[in-house]
Amino acid sequence: MNYRELSIDELHELLVSKKVTPLDLAKEAIALAKADTNNAFEYIMEKEALEAAEALGEPEANNPLWGIPFVIKDNFSTKGVPTTGSSNILKGYVPVFDATVVEKLKAAKAIAIGKTTLDELAMGGSGITGHLGRTYNPWDRSHSRIVGGSSCGSAAATSDGFVPFALGSDTGDSTRKPASHAGLIGFKPTWSRISRFGLFPFAPSLDTVGIFSRNVKDCAYVLNALAGRDEKDSTSSTKPVEDYAKDIEKENKNYKIAVIKEIEDSISNNVVKDAFKKSVEDLKKAGYQVDYVHVSNELLLTLFPTYFVISCAEATSNNANMDGIKFGPLSEGKTFEEVMLNARTKGFGELIKRRFVIGSFALMKENQNELFVRAQKNRRRIVDAINDILREYNFIYLPAAPGIAPKFDDASDKLSDEYLIADNHLCIANFAGLPSLTLPIGFEDGMPFGANITGRAFEDKDVLKISYEIEKLTGLKNLVAKGGQK
């Protein structure tokens, strides 16, 4: 039987009625993973998954994740399972502990099938900088398009139908951008809503655990399993959690939605623009108030450099523990400095080295005020502007990306407004810690593209609810890439 296009609800029904067993699902997912042609996997957890599936016992009718297979971005620590962050500097690293989210999904009796590729240590948006090379977009059979990053493998595996959901991480848009390129739901909940313990840090003030799924309700189920206070992550919120799936279909026509005109305007692709405008019209027709609001181009142009400086600065410190002493491959040297230098020179790829240098330069005493601190001040300026909008509106609704997944050899002009705004505005939600969800709204040349809905901090449930409404309006759910299938 083919389970690839089924939702968690549908799989759950099959499992509870014992028409299919967790072992059947795990076996199929593993077979698919093994036949993967998109370079989505760092490690397939065959033995672990089959053992876990066999050990499950009786179905749990009230536990929608029971027996459901999923994959884990390889920057989550998994006990006894190699975890590389797609970097050579962690080649051979086998953690001695599980990330809290991994622990929670195990406790929910979901079955981890494998560890997925990412841009090296989650720094990148293309899915090409990991140590295993390019990860391909399953929607494009010719392997000429990126799926996007940094959570490239999780996006590829989910959109190829290997699993109904996946763990990602999101520092700037690392879950939500690939979701747009892969026709998926990509959700970055409120910062601190999910424990980051065991997530390899990139920039802790921006990092959030991300969820990929193929429909909104599935995403809510996963959030139910993950959300909540964890004393191992002292930044995790003590605010009570909700049942995010309950009454998700109940409409709330009082929601007010804002669209930032300048961001929409920065997009040149008319297919994307038209689809987005149509989605806005559909929402209005459905009875929601949707208004265009304004944020100056001047401010929007600062999004990317602000993000770049803050994230690089934090990253250079967060990866200073990788030195070939406590873990990582053996490197030689006559002094400890040489040992560390050789480990880091060989272990890190060039892109992230450049980011580390930029980040460390931004933190230097004589530069900090003009780079890092300036970026931190500008971050607040951006956040203030966004929160001003959200005081009046429940959500900000925008195209998630300026177009469909780019080709590997497409070079975007890094100084164009389209790049700086349309391609990089998703980091706003990271700056302000807001819940933010990408979902598919259309296709161009058979490739999907998405829109993004961002809500107020801790109003994750409202974001899921309005997303559910949009999903209903577009009818785009449970998409599975056709290109990658044999």
Partner 1 sequence: MIFEPVIGLEIHVELKTKSKMFSNGPVTYGKDANTQTVPLDLAFPGTLPTVNKQGVVYAIRVCHALHMKIDNELHFDRKNYFYSDLPKGYQITQDKRPIGSDGYLTIEINGKEKKIGIERLHIEEDTCKQLHFKDFTLLNYNRAGTPLIEIVSRPELRSGEEAMKYVEKIRSIVVFSNVSDGKMEEGSLRCDVNVSIREKGSEKFGTKVEIKNINSISYIQKAIDFEVERQSKIIENGGEVLQETRRYDDAKKETLPMRLKTDSVDYKYYPEANITPIKLSDEFIKNAIESCPELAESKLKRYMSEYGLNDYDASLLVSDKEISEYYDACTKFTNAYKLLANWVNVDVLGYLNKNNIVISNFPMSPEHLGGLVNLVAKNDVSSNQAREIFTKMIEENVDALKAKQILGISSQISDESMILNVINEVLKENPQSIIDYKEGKGRALGFMIGQVMKKTQGKVNPKLTNDLLLEELKRR
Partner 2 sequence: MKTYNIDVLKDAANRLLFDMSEAEYKTLLNEFDIVVKQMKLIGDNKGLDAYEPMVFPFECTTDYLREDEPGEPLSREEALRNSPRKAGGQIKLPRVVQ
Instruction: Count the neighbouring beta carbons within 10 Å of the beta carbon of residue 480.
Output: 19
314 binds, among partner 2, partner 1, none (CB under 5 to 8 A by kind): partner 1
Would you call 150 a catalytic residue per the annotation?
yes
Write a three-state SS string for the chain: CCCCCCCHHHHHHHHHCCCCCHHHHHHHHHHHHHCCCCCCEEEECHHHHHHHHHCCCCCCCCCCCCCCEEEEECCECCCCCCCCCCCHHHCCCCCCCCCHHHHHHHHCCCEEEEEECCCHHHCCCCCCCCCCCCCECCCCCCCCEECCCCCHHHHHHHHCCCCCEEEEEECCCCCHHHHHHHCCEEEECCCCCECCCCECCCCCCCCEEEEEECCHHHHHHHHHHHECCCCCCCCCCCCCCCCCCCCCCCCCCCCEEEEEHHHHHCCCCHHHHHHHHHHHHHHHHCCCEEEEECCCHHHHCCHHHHHHHHHHHHHHHHCCCCCCCCCCCCCCCCCHHHHHHHHHHHHCCHHHHHHHHHHHHHHCHHHHCCCHHHHHHHHHHHHHHHHHHHHHCCEEEEECCCCCCCECCCCCCCCCHHHHHHCCCCHHHHHHCCCEEEEEEEEECCEEEEEEEEECCCCHHHHHHHHHHHHHHHCCCCCCCCCCCC
Residues in contact with partner 2, shown as a per-residue x/- string from 388 to 417 under the rule CB under 8 A: --------------------------xx--
d(CA 454, CA 467) in angstroms, rounded, equals 10
Instruction: Give catalytic status of residue 174 as yes or no.
Output: yes
Q: Which two tokens stand for residue 5?
A: 């296009």
Query: Smallest gap, in angstroms, from Cβ of residue 328 to partner 2?
Result: 6
Using rule CB under 8 A, residue 458 touches partner 1? no
Among 125, 138, 198, 402, binds partner 1 (CB under 8 A): 198
Near partner 2 by CB under 8 A: residue from 132, 293, 339, 389: 339
Please identify which residue in 431, 440, 455, 463 interacts with partner 2, judged by CB under 8 A.
431
Q: Which of 5, 325, 387, 412 binds partner 1 (CB under 8 A)?
A: 325
Q: Which of 19, 232, 246, 256 binds partner 1 (CB under 8 A)?
A: 232
Q: In terms of CB distance, is 115 or 477 closer to partner 2?
A: 115
From the list 73, 115, 177, 217, the catalytic residue is 73
Q: Tell whether residue 433 is a contact of partner 1 (CB under 8 A).
A: no
Query: Of these residues, 77, 87, 174, 331, which one is catalytic?
Result: 174
Which among 82-90, 127-135, 155-163, 214-222 is the span making contact with partner 1, rule CB under 8 A?
A: 82-90
Cβ of residue 198: shortest distance to partner 1, in angstroms?
4
Does 237 participate in binding partner 2 (rule CB under 8 A)? yes
Q: Which residue among 271, 373, 389, 473 contacts partner 2 (CB under 8 A)?
A: 373
Within 10 angstroms of residue 357's Cβ, the number of other Cβ atoms is: 12
Task: List the x/- string, 182-221, binding to partner 2 by CB under 8 A.
Answer: ---------xx------------xx---------------
Residues 75-134 that bind partner 2 (CB under 8 A): 92-94, 96
Q: Which of 403, 5, 397 is nearest to 213 (CA)?
A: 5
Residue closer to partner 2 (CB basis): 286 or 341? 341
Residue with smaller CB distance to partner 2, 408 or 419: 419
Q: Which is nearer to partner 2, 143 or 374 (CB)?
A: 374
Cis geometry, peptide bond prior to residue 150 (ω within 30 degrees of 0): yes
Q: Minimum distance between the CB of residue 433 and partner 2, rounded to whole angstroms?
A: 3
Residue 363's binding partner out of partner 1, partner 2, none, with CB under 5 to 8 Å set by partner kind: partner 1
Q: Is residue 247 a contact point for partner 2 (CB under 8 A)?
A: no
Q: Which of residues 276-315 bind partner 1 (CB under 8 A)?
A: 313-314
Indicate whether 433 belongs to the interface with partner 2 (CB under 8 A). yes
Query: Binding residue for partner 1 (CB under 8 A) from 360, 416, 478, 485?
Result: 360
23 versus 432: smaller Cβ distance to partner 2: 432
- Return residues touching partner 1 (CB under 8 A): 75-77, 83, 85, 90, 93, 95-97, 99, 196-201, 203-205, 231-235, 313-314, 316-317, 319-323, 325-327, 336-337, 340, 360, 363-365, 368, 372
Residues taking part in catalysis: 73, 150, 174
